[in-house]
Amino acid sequence: MKTAIIGASGYSGEELVRLLSRHPNVELTAVTSRSLAGRRVADQMPALRHLVGELTFTASNPAELAAHGEIETFFLALPHGVASEFAEPLYQAGKTVIDLSADFRLGSTSLYQSSYDQPHPAPHLLEAAPYVVPELADNAWKTATLIACPGCYPTSIQLPLVPLLKAGLVHPSGIIIDSYSGVSGAGKKVAENFIYCERNESMKAYSLPGHRHVSEIEEQLSKAAFADCIVQFSPHLAPMTRGISTTIVARIKASLDEVYACWEKAYADRPFVSVLPSGTFPDTRHVVGTNRCDLSAVHDPRTDNLVISSVIDNLVKGASGQAVQIMNLKYGFQETAGLL
């Protein structure tokens, strides 16, 4: 199957190039970028020199891409707002579109407006576009041809919480979430705040209290809980390139054993979620470069809280790896194809 990446100039784009170049079932046929059109991928992504041969960036023209007869699946690694400009014609042309932007993550256009400060660019497509965390969605999404990939923070939060909320093992209200992200979470942003000497040996909170991912987190957790789930979410920057460490405090309604039984049932056959024993703590270093989410929890009898730790690589399970996993499942490839 021929695939293309649209808007591949950033870190998620580069990770997609890496994953698709090595994938046993697909061919990476085109890589587009408005700013890099005409340049060799090997020169722009020197870490991938041995993988990409003479592949060259092409211009990003939605209509032309839609008319391309051979390419079946398109990955959109574009900013929100821009992604829709491509999703629409590709979707109409019958292509499969796996969108890594925020454009189709939220079911509510008013939430989109308030979170992204602009009207939703393609509200008529929302119905057609399922939001897919592969381990959490039922199989109906596999027939869709426009798919919304989750955000990085939301992935690290939903994987531990959704099964527990569905099973009623934690209270849906009063959930407190702290996340620390490696700097690649900000993308390839060239700004004083992101130069090496400003971020090295540095940790800080940002965007409190209303980070854009809050609406996505709450929409999904509320669906799982069949109840309104308002969370306190605090994102931070940490001095490392990749990785998200998330710590969640939720009031427990059951025993720790029931929590673990729930997780083990949910993830028994899933290759990319590792449930670690209570008292063992996930480490971002152990998931960097993988599509895994490692998680564990303790119960604090003094507060009756469940304290959950989860870690992912923000560029893999939090973005490009999960997008490839979605493609694998949709097309009946092995779930782990190209991801080990």
Q: For residues 202-241, which are near a copy of itself according to CB under 8 A?
A: 202-206, 208-210, 230-232, 234, 236, 238-241
Give the alpha-carbon dihedral of 167, 225, 149, 79, to 10 degrees: -150
191 binds a copy of itself (CB under 8 A): yes
Q: In the complex, what is the shortest distance from the CB of residue 124 to a copy of itself, in angstroms, rounded to a whole number?
A: 29
Kindly tell me the sign of the dihedral angle through the C-alpha atoms of 23, 46, 312, 159: negative
Q: How far apart are CA 123 and CA 7, in angstroms?
A: 22
Scanning 60-68, 105-113, 155-163, 195-203 for contacts with a copy of itself by CB under 8 A, the matching segment is: 195-203
Query: Applying CB under 8 A, what is the total number of residues that bind a copy of itself?
Result: 77
Q: Is 152 known to be catalytic?
A: yes
> CB-wise, 90 or 276, nearer to a copy of itself?
276
11 binds a copy of itself (CB under 8 A): yes
Full strand arrangement of the beta sheet holding 96-99: 57-58, 27-32, 2-6, 71-76, 96-99, 146-148
**Using an 8 Å Cβ cutoff, are 96 and 3 in contact?**
no
Instruction: Find the part of the chain contacting a copy of itself (CB under 8 A) among 30-38, 102-110, 121-129, 198-206.
Output: 198-206
25 near a copy of itself, rule: CB under 8 A: no
* Residue closer to a copy of itself, measured from CB, 64 or 189: 189
Say whether 71 sits in a helix, a strand or coil.
strand
Binding positions for a copy of itself, 238-297, rule CB under 8 A: 238-243, 245, 247, 249, 271-272, 274, 281-292, 294
Cα–Cα distance for residue pair 235/56, rounded to 1 Å: 36
- How far apart are CB 272 and a copy of itself at their closest, in Å? 7
CB atoms within 10 A of CB 166: 15
Q: Which residues pair with 297 in a beta bridge?
A: 308
CB closer to a copy of itself out of 128 and 307: 307
Looking at the annotation, which residues are catalytic?
Answer: 152
